[in-house]
A = this chain, B = another copy of it.
Amino acid sequence: MDREGKTVSDAAESGEKISFRDVRAEILRRITIGPWGPGTLLPGEVELAQEFGCSRTTINRAMREISDLGLVDRRRKAGTRVRTTPLRAARFEMPIVRAEIERTGASYRYALVQRGVEPAPDWLRAQMNLTPKDRVLHVVCVHYAGGAAFQLEDRWINLAALPQAEAEEFSRTGPNEWLIATVPFSEVEVSFTATGADALVAAHLDHQPGDPVFIVERATWWQGAAITFVRMSYRKGYRMTTRY
């Protein structure tokens, strides 16, 4: 956060305009080290605007961003209160695999492993909220980085919601890229976990069965209808990292 090099008093002294950044930094300071510990009810926006010598709009923007960070709760009339359990939210950017691989300078290669239309298995019906008669397209493919397997993609596409998927071969590019270019989505659920490699994963990612594998699963909906569910297994040693 605190990348802004000047303090509020600096800005005030020099007669410069107060930026919402200055306000944000100062309020963050007061919450983290200053007098506004967990549970504190902060002064109202009008009062703060007076104190900082800026308009309420500026205070509002600073407060809104701090609220977005998860450090305070804001309610009309009730005011702004510092959360007792600050839940710093981290942002994870999830690029498509191809971009992630090419960004590292490695060459990207794609290989289709399996493709077929199947009745949805029970766990998938539960996960995607499908009816028993819904058909799904099941695609398994591998993304390689510099010659070595990087990620195994195990994807299910709801043909009731996306019938045109049945005409796609996915022999040269992955369903990932096709989907991004083709369908919008309104809601996404992502989860991370670790499991032991099964036979499929072991075979394609060069693992021993049972080896720990980092898993990302993502379910996507559009206007209430399930579009696709994907389970991505990463090669050994993969780390997903973010800074904030």
Binding site for B on A (CB under 8 A): 1-2, 28-29, 32-33, 37-38, 70, 85-96, 98-99, 180-181, 183-196, 210-215, 223, 234, 237-244
Contact = CB atoms under 8 A, between A and B. Distances in A.
A241 B70 contact: no
A241 B189 contact: yes
Given A92-B92, A242-B189, A194 B212 contact: yes
A95 B99 contact: no
A38 B96 CA distance: 14
Contacts of A29: 184
Contacts of A239: 191-193
5 contacts: A38-B181, A85-B99, A89-B93, A91-B92, A194-B194
Given A187-B1, A192-B239, A212-B194, A85 B91 contact: no
Contacts of A86: 180
A188 B92 contact: no
B240 A191 contact: yes
Given A194-B215, A240-B193, A188 B91 contact: no
Contacts of A211: 196, 212
A143 B72 CA distance: 26
A188 to B, nearest CB: 6
Contacts of A180: 85-86
Contacts of A195: 194, 212
Contacts of A242: 189-191
Contact of A32 (B184, B215, B243): B184
Contact of A192 (B32, B186, B214): B214
A234 B192 CA distance: 12
A136 B131 CA distance: 57
Given A193-B240, A240-B191, A87 B70 contact: no
Contacts of A241: 189-192
Contacts of A32: 183-185
Contacts of A187: 1, 243-244
Contact of A92 (B2, B90, B215): B90
Given A191-B242, A212-B194, A241-B191, A92 B89 contact: yes
